[in-house]
Amino acid sequence: MSEIVKDALCPFCGCLCDDIVLEVEDNHIISVNNACTLGEHKFLESGGERALKGPMRREGSGWKPISYEEAIEETAEILLAADRPLLYGWSGTYTEAQGAGIMLAEDLGAIVDSTTSVCHGPSILAIQEVGHPGCTLGQVKNRADVVIYWGSNPQEGHPRHLSRYTTYCDGYFLDNAAHDRTVIVVDVRKSATATLADHFIQIKPGGDYAVLSAMRAILAGREDVIPSKVAGVTREELIKIVNICKNARFGSLFFGVGLTMSQGKYKNVRNAIEFVDDLNRSTKFTLTPMRGHYNVYGFNEVCTWMTGYPYAVDLSRGIAFYNPGETTAVDVLARKECDACLVIASDPGAHFPSASVGHLAEIPTVLIDPVPNLTTPLCRLQIPVAVTGVDVGGTAYRMDGVPLSMKKVIDRGYPTDEELINAIRKRVEEVKGI
């Protein structure tokens, strides 16, 4: 006899879709409705047979199953023996577990960093310089008549973004969104999203900063200074786009890692924010980063409450120090600074540069993740846990900063991230006498 769970939240991307319908039978999810392909696979894969049965330790060329108690003890030992431990990941778990993780980092004198540092970290650096003219996705849905996707391809990365909030979604002030909304895509190649756009601006790779500067100058009435072509885009085309933005009733600029991770990084985002800021002199315009993991925003919130900084926090001296480039996971690993690593709710093996991944394999690394991933071959120990949004509920933050409560759908008996981290922390505190 199957049971239908309505309004479940999808633990995949920053859209954090909250209208998922799941069919559950014998403690298994057997069908997923309303989710995109990515979300459907997340529910069926991590909530399915691929999940590890229990913790495992590398022994020689193979793996040996061990108990949770042994795994907790060994993890605590590894972290306590280190002079510069790194606790990395956190974006694929709920905020309560992230909070426990920061307390563990404080006890250990560790560096704590999330996947923010390899996706929208530059956005945060830019926001710290010039602020964030943001809004909720509900505002975009109901009001935005001009939408820009810059260096972002939601059709493939956030597949329901267009249907839930922009192009295909009617809003309170837009009866016929597909017709009434003007969608502009700026990218270095004609992406899947670009094929749906009203205007597509193809810029040369690395040309984001120059194009944004030129658009700001046009907005300031200084098109006389702009050369006939900027990074492959004609001046006339830029003037046309600036006029569309200026004449918008409500505009929204969404940007992805195409902007944050191309040459210039956070200065590109700063220029985008200042472009939006300049537009606000004549209309209403907002800017939202297209966050990747479903709760990467949550980590930034939790980390800021607890340490004063949003990510890449070095707690080794008992005080919080933040300096991306110096205290970010990729850099700390590439410089071989850290001598032990706890990876949780992320997969650096799949995403980090080879120098960082190489060091991860050299030092004792513990991975907390329900399923084997590309970090598994690099680690000494893997501990499976409950999947957030499947086996455990908790709070997650959508890409626009709205906290939502995730549902527990089934119970396969795994410990939660929060329970596991607290158990490790308890052991660390016992040994350190704190």
**Where on the chain is the footprint of other proteins (CB under 8 A)?**
82-85, 108-110, 125, 128-129, 204, 206-207, 209-210, 212-214, 216-217, 220, 222, 225-227, 230-232, 263-264, 267, 270-271, 274, 316-317, 322-326, 335-337, 339
Handedness of CA 182, 187, 192, 194 (dihedral sign): positive
H/E element, 20: strand 20-25
Residues in the chain: 434
Instruction: Output the smallest distance, CB 289 to other proteins, in A.
Output: 17
Q: How far is the CB of 309 from other proteins (least distance, A)?
A: 9
Query: CA quadruple 373, 375, 380, 386: dihedral positive or negative?
Result: negative
Nearest-approach distance from CB 233 to other proteins, in angstroms: 10
Q: Which C-beta is closer to other proteins: that of 72 or that of 332?
A: 332
**In this complex, which beta carbon is closest to other proteins, that of residue 242 or of residue 410?**
242
Nearer to other proteins, 126 or 137 (CB): 126
Residue 255 to residue 176: CA distance in whole angstroms:
24
> Pairing state of beta strands 229-230 and 85-89?
unpaired
Least distance in Å: CB of 6 to other proteins? 43
Would you say 377 and 402 are in contact if contact means Cβ atoms under 8 Å apart? Answer: no
Neighbours of 362 (CB within 10 A): 11
Q: In the complex with other proteins, which residue's Cβ is closer, 107 or 145?
A: 107
Residue 413 makes CB contacts below 8 A (sequence gap 6+) with none
Burial class (CB in 10 A: 0-12, 13-18, 19+), 134: middle
Residue 403 Cβ, how far from other proteins at the closest point, in Å? 24
Distance separating alpha carbons of residues 191 and 178, to the nearest angstrom: 19
Least distance in Å: CB of 84 to other proteins? 4
Closer by beta carbon to other proteins, 23 or else 326: 326
Cβ nearer to other proteins, comparing 267 with 412: 267
Q: Per the structure block, which two tokens stand in for 275?
A: 């472009």
Considering beta carbons, is residue 9 or 76 the nearer one to other proteins?
A: 76
Cβ closest to other proteins, residue 225 vs residue 434? 225
Please state the φ and ψ torsions of residue 271, each to the nearest 5 degrees: -65, -40
Closest CA to 285 of 401, 140, 403, 125: 140
The nearer residue to other proteins, 233 or 387, going by C-beta atoms, is 233
* Min CB(363)–other proteins separation in Å: 10
Q: Edge to edge, what strands does the sheet with 340-344 contain?
A: 62-65, 56-59, 381-383, 365-368, 340-344, 85-89, 111-114, 313-314, 321-322
Nearest CA-CA partner of 387 in 6, 34, 52: 52
Q: How far is the CB of 175 from other proteins (least distance, A)?
A: 37
Q: Is 3 or 129 the residue whose CB approaches other proteins more closely?
A: 129
Query: How many CA atoms, within 13 angstroms, populate the side-chain half-sphere of residue 84?
Result: 13
Angle, CA of 33, 344 and 55, to the nearest 5°:
90
Q: How many beta carbons lie within 10 A of that of residue 325, not counting itself?
A: 12
| Shortest distance in whole angstroms from residue 239 CB to other proteins | 13
